Amino acid sequence: MNFELTKEQRMIKKMVRDFAEDSIRPKAIQIDKEARFPVEIFEQMAELGLMGIPFPEEYGGSDGDTLSYALAVEEIGRVCGSTGLSYAAAVSLGASPIYYFGTEEQKQKYLTPLANGKALGSFGLTEPNAGSDAGGTKTTAVEDGADYIINGEKCFITNASFAETIIVTAVTGKQSNGKNIISAIIVPADSEGLTITSNYDKMGVRGSDTAEIILDNVRVPKENLLGDPEKGFKQFLYTLDGGRISIAALGLGIAQASLEKALDYAKERKQFGKSISSFQAVQFKLADMSMEVELARNMVHKAAWLKDQDKPFSKEAAYAKLYATETAFRAANQAIQIHGGYGYMREYEVERYLRDAKLLEIGEGTSEIQRLVIARQLGC
């Protein structure tokens, strides 16, 4: 048993923290206020090799592990939830499925530009009527000669407006038991018949692009099918398990930021002639926040470690996502409370943490879905 990070992991954490402090933090308020996707930050992150942490060098990656990637997401999330979410989605949902399930040719062609950060990828799973019920997917892909013709509608798709490739899930047939076969297909974003619009006015993670995709007779070659055509559903469940670790890490970053802001403010702020940090009412909040942040961190690290060891991590990823994101929400909420009236103001940032944290309890599987995943693992 060893709780220490490796030298490389510590260096990565420090590098990402320095970068986030210098290059992202000064823009975080503006990114939120203007709901602006920070393209220039993603270019810098690409230069630093952050977009390809968990992928091998041969595909343009940095040859790091899941834990290093989780550390990077935490550090970015600690200063800017919007950037953190787009980062986590680009790596875990946009690029990872190609790495997990792609053919050698698909990896060379589609994973390399995502891993070296020359392009962003997106994952189109959610539909207006298929959210938690991903099996209810209505989008169809029909074989036509050497191609698939895809029709349907996707919503709430992170990064799609800035993506070069979108992995789209679609019904490709029926199993013998009558259930739909759902497959994943790589669709270049500039395909004819593909319309991407980004009109959402969001509560939080406002700088992260969220788009709606309409597929109207989009034709892609059959070779763009990703992985086993019969196991599309299982594949994206696996993808989502991995994605949960990164969303958990993002929640951890926001929770950590909330704790730091609340602690600093509580020490500075004087009422009744004393720092409010000397009052037990405030101390108890800070003690709980600090404890929960550490527990969340342990769970995130454990889930990442299990994945790195090629051990089952589905349940632990769900624990981590559920606990870390709910911790983020509670910590942000308490941070606002400790700040009092100031906390309600954008300038103090903690109100943004709360708005950003709320998304994490919904995206990539709601808290309720996480509990279902856990219950299923318990044999319920």
Partner 1 sequence: MNIYVLLKKTFDTEEKINVSNGEIEDDGAEFIINPYDEYAVEEAINQRDAHGGEVTVVTVGDEDSEKQLRTALAMGADKAVLINTEDDLEEGDAFTTAKILEAYFEDKEADLILGGNVAIDEASGQVGPRLAEYLGIPYVTTITDLKIEGENVTIEKDVEGDVEIVETSLPLLVTCQQGLNEPRYPSLPGIMKAKKKPLEELEIDDLDLDEDDVAAKTKTIDIFLPPEKEAGRVLEGDASEQVQELVSILKNDEKVL
Q: Which residues bind partner 1 (CB under 8 A)?
A: 7-8, 10-12, 14-15, 18-19, 47-50, 52-53, 57, 62-64, 68
Residue 111: partners with Cβ closer than 8 Å, 6 or more residues away: 55, 59, 60, 95, 98, 99, 102
Closer residue to partner 1, CB minimum distance, 14 or 179: 14
364 counts as catalytic: yes
Amino acid (one-letter) located at 298: N
Number of C-beta neighbours around residue 17 at 10 A: 17
Q: Computed from CA positions of residues 86, 87, 88, 91, in that sequence, does the dihedral angle turn out positive or negative?
A: positive
Residue from 34, 223, 364, 368 carrying the catalytic annotation: 364
Phi, psi angles (nearest 5°) of residue 361: -80, -5
Report the nearest approach of partner 1 to the CB of residue 12 (Å).
6
Residues 9 and 184: beta-carbon distance below 8 Å: no
Report the nearest approach of partner 1 to the CB of residue 56 (Å).
10
Nearest CA-CA partner of 253 in 113, 54, 79: 79
Report the nearest approach of partner 1 to the CB of residue 22 (Å).
9
Closer residue to partner 1, CB minimum distance, 24 or 125: 24
Closer residue to partner 1, CB minimum distance, 15 or 142: 15
Closer residue to partner 1, CB minimum distance, 6 or 103: 6
Number of C-beta neighbours around residue 204 at 10 A: 22
Task: Report the distance separating Cα 192 and Cα 224, nearest Å.
Answer: 15
Nearest CA-CA partner of 226 in 93, 53, 49: 93
Report the nearest approach of partner 1 to the CB of residue 62 (Å).
4
Report the nearest approach of partner 1 to the CB of residue 245 (Å).
18
Distance, CA of 192 to chain centre: 28
Task: Report the distance separating Cα 51 and Cα 71, nearest Å.
Answer: 13
Closer residue to partner 1, CB minimum distance, 8 or 228: 8
Report the nearest approach of partner 1 to the CB of residue 272 (Å).
19
Nearest CA-CA partner of 99 in 154, 38, 58: 58
Closer residue to partner 1, CB minimum distance, 62 or 235: 62
Pairing of strands 120-124, 163-174: parallel
Task: Report the distance separating Cα 324 and Cα 130, nearest Å.
Answer: 25
Write out the catalytic residue numbers. Answer: 364
